[in-house]
Structure 1
Amino acid sequence: MSARAGSKAAILGTVMGLALSGCSAMPDSGPTERSVLNAQKDQAHNPLGFEILPVTPQIAAILASEVPPLISSLDAANNPFSHNDRIGAGDVLTITVFELGSGLFASSGGGGASAAAGEGASAPGPAASVTNQNLPPTQVEADGTISVPYVGRMRAAGMTPQDLAENIRRSLGSKSQNPQVMVRISSDIANTVIVSGEVHHPGRVVLSTAQERLSDVIAIAGGATYSPEDTHVQLVRGDRTGATDLGTLESFPREDIRARPGDRIHVIYQPRTYTVFGAAGKDATETPFKSPNVSLAEALARVGGPADTRADPNAAFLFRFEDPVAARQLGLTTPATPIGTPVVYQLDMMNPSSYFLAQRIPMKTKDVLLIANARINRFYKMNQLIGTLVSPAITAAWIAK
């Protein structure tokens, strides 16, 4: 019995020795904090020359300023409605003049339509007729004016068709007998928006007095090609820009503002995701945004945060190719690549202040989150391995006894 016990002890000793010697070869889900920090200093492991920046209030403020303004911020509070019935440069107008009797615009052959004058007509005699004549299509010039026969050049841009018709009528009053004028915009250029990108029918969309909203305009253009959550909508209004996703426009009326003449709407297919590696609560995964903006705190929460059994909460790393503007503000000296300047941000989740800062830092598409493994993680796995190997032997010894 003693020889058998000695043999078992020798076997157990050998197993433990092999386990200890193989500790460094144990598999891991990612590097430790020390490995990442050392890689920054090692040119062989850092050919891009990235820098590691601890997250501070100053860095959080710079990164927070990169969030594009909401589309609703482009809608001035003092002018929530636009005028979609105004004449503008480039519009083509159809002008019709009605006159009593033999008027200025009546054709010599009497080709104009005629009818008996009503009781209120001022024409002399019961046989007076009304003629109407369509003037040649008239385009509004770049300076906003048009030329009308017997009137000359007059202002048209910024006026409604009714206002312009009244101005023409007054100008013809001394030259024609009780003239009446109708103006119609036959080719509307000024009251349009440009819709481009991933829609079925990109191009100009004419706005009406119904005051269409952004989602209405996209629907008029045939609708988006892809699903709302993967469709990014960028609005350019004057010299300002706002952006959101189509799902937000459809779900939040406050963001679905009314389109205005001259707006440019870019519809972009952008399935925004970020990737998580290391000792997160969930396995390595590519996580979709599913909302217009996602903060670093939200991104960490969606993947379960640091795993209690194997993560080092002092070392959550955000890997990113930073925009040139932000890179200059951060003082990065790393050479830029075609997709940005590589940089790594380190967040210490054992510091309560870091949770406030993480709420301010916006995630960007294609960001990579790495939650470093704790240095004792391999020893923890080794203990599990030893337990797996030793437990059957202990059980067998207990049964033999």
Structure 2
Amino acid sequence: MKDLVGKSAVVALIGLMAGCTIVPGSHISTTPGWFLDDDGSEQAESLPDSVQIHAITTAVLREDAEQQTEPAANLLAEPESYDYVVGIGDVLQITVWDHPELTIPAGSMRSPSESGNWVHNDGSIFYPYVGKIRVEGLRVTEIRDLIAQRIAEYIENPQVDVTVAAFRSQRVYVTGAVNQPGAYPVTNVPLRLLDAVNASGGVTESADWTDVTLTRDGTEYRLSLRAVYQEGNPAHNVLLKEGDVVHVARNDDNKVFVMGEVQQAKPVAMTRNGLTLIEALSASGGYNQDVADASGIFVLRRAPTGSDHLVDLYQLNAKDATALILADGFRLQSRDIVYVTAAPISRWNRVVKQIMPTFQTIYYGALAADRVRDLDE
């Protein structure tokens, strides 16, 4: 009778196992035909077109480094020499040497900006003997020559000097995660990205200095302060112009999500220096050596807009622990998902754990029924 009970239980167990086609929990397969072999080669059968698979290798790291965003070519096309152009609202200080009657003294109670010649809304100034002169759009050297030419009718060999006493016509705007956001003047000293950020008090602790947006004439350009500070890349330290808007993004929402067979699944905030795959794994306590599949460490990333696929899937095979050096060079992007999949034996153990209560119920139920039957006999 006991043999009959055992056979019945085994048959029931086999039936349950045959019908158990869904493994508990999420999983990313590493079996041939779906992802990558241990050597990083892709199998013949691919995933659906919505997913593109990449092995994290030295080639991928080199490609990632080469694809670092560089400013557009028109931002890099700067004039050979910089010279300020006068605009409406600027105040000019005009001096005619040896003719103090033509020079308005600043005095102790008046600053040069208060005593100078203001550029009116029509772009002109008024000067004695010369009359009304249009100066908007001219350099101070051109204004100097123009005044000297006209005043020469009244003064022999006039010595004229023109400077800008107050720069009021042109502004750039710094917003976002800086200590003192606001409008800052464009002057006769070239104003570059770092100059504007420093003038605004520098970036805050919550700033993402890899994500700086420059808006010029309705077009947005991506710049990186880290590229300037750490890498010394002058291409990102662009020359700013009138009307430019510089926005330094915050990194509060810049995080990656670490899931799967790790010690502590959680979102990991990105620092201003960014975040690598090994840093994200370390922040979550590392992958669980007992149940994780070291060849199945994945990074899921939304494909760029306009791509012919939806998801880029990167796989790291860390069965050889030295491959983790690749993880230290693989930079994550905001909203990436790091997923460590389970080893096959771990998945099987979860199936067994789910069906064992049912198996035990069937076994002990059959055993109890046999005992009742024996008593009746």
TM-score range, shorter chain: 0.5 to 0.7
Deviations 1:184-236 (A, max 9, x none): 4444345x43324567986531267798844433349xx87xx5246765164
5+ residue gaps, structure 1: 1-5, 107-111, 116-132, 328-332, 335-340, 391-401
Aligned position for 2:341: 372
Give the whole-Å Cα distance in 2 for the aligned partners of 1:164 and 1:342. Answer: 59
Distance 1:134 1:68, change over 3 A: closer
Distance 1:287 1:230, change over 3 A: same
What's the offset of the Cα at 1:265? 1.6
What's the offset of the Cα at 1:25? 6.6
Aligned position for 2:168: 188
Is the 2:190–2:239 Cα contact (8 Å) retained in structure 1? no
- Residue 300 of structure 2 corresponds to residue 319 of structure 1: yes
Residue identity in the other structure for 1:234: V
Give the whole-Å Cα distance in 1 for the aligned partners of 2:137 and 2:240. Answer: 17
What's the offset of the Cα at 1:180? 7.0
Question: Which of 183, 186, 189 is residue 204 of structure 1 equivalent to?
Answer: 183
Residue identity in the other structure for 1:291: R
Tell me whether 21-30 or 358-367 shows the greater mean CA deviation: 21-30
Give the whole-Å Cα distance in 1 for the aligned partners of 2:122 and 2:276. Answer: 49
What's the offset of the Cα at 1:364? 0.8
Give the whole-Å Cα distance in 1 for the aligned partners of 2:302 and 2:211. Answer: 23
Is the 1:196–1:203 Cα contact (8 Å) retained in structure 2? yes
Is the 1:318–1:345 Cα contact (8 Å) retained in structure 2? yes
Deviations 1:233-291 (A, max 9, x none): 5164999853248xx98xx8x89x99955264212234211112211x32321111123
What's the offset of the Cα at 1:378? 3.2
5+ residue gaps, structure 2: 36-42, 108-114, 361-377
Aligned position for 1:66: 67
Aligned position for 2:363: none
Is the 1:97–1:134 Cα contact (8 Å) retained in structure 2? no
Distance 1:59 1:210, change over 3 A: closer
Question: Which of 145, 160, 176 is residue 155 of structure 2 equivalent to?
Answer: 176
Residue correspondence of structure 1 range 158-173 to structure 2 within 5 A? 159=140, 168=147, 172=151
Residue correspondence of structure 1 range 277-296 to structure 2 within 5 A? 277-279=259-261, 281-296=262-277
What's the offset of the Cα at 1:97? 5.8
Deviations 1:161-192 (A, max 9, x none): xx9669856874662387776644444345x4
Give the whole-Å Cα distance in 2 for the aligned partners of 1:52 and 1:353. Answer: 22
Distance 1:291 1:345, change over 3 A: same
Distance 1:265 1:374, change over 3 A: same
Aligned position for 2:256: 274
Distance 1:95 1:213, change over 3 A: closer
Tell me whether 175-184 or 373-382 shows the greater mean CA deviation: 175-184
Aligned position for 1:308: 289
Question: Which of 87, 98, 103 is residue 84 of structure 2 equivalent to?
Answer: 87
Deviations 1:288-316 (A, max 9, x none): 11233222333333333321111111111
Structure 1 counterpart SS, 2:332:
coil
Distance 1:355 1:268, change over 3 A: same
Structure 2 counterpart SS, 1:62:
helix
Structure 2 counterpart SS, 1:315:
strand
Structure 1 counterpart SS, 2:200:
helix
Aligned position for 2:50: 49
Distance 1:215 1:96, change over 3 A: closer
Give the whole-Å Cα distance in 1 for the aligned partners of 2:215 and 2:165. Answer: 24
Question: Which of 299, 319, 322 is residue 350 of structure 1 equivalent to?
Answer: 319
- Residue 332 of structure 2 corresponds to residue 360 of structure 1: no
Deviations 1:346-382 (A, max 9, x none): 2211256743443433211111111111010034457
Deviations 1:3-41 (A, max 9, x none): xxx89xx89x969x8699568776445344239928x99
Give the whole-Å Cα distance in 2 for the aligned partners of 1:308 and 1:352. Answer: 12
Is the 1:98–1:179 Cα contact (8 Å) retained in structure 2? yes
Residue identity in the other structure for 1:195: V
Aligned sequence identity (%): 15
Aligned residues: CA RMSD: 5.8
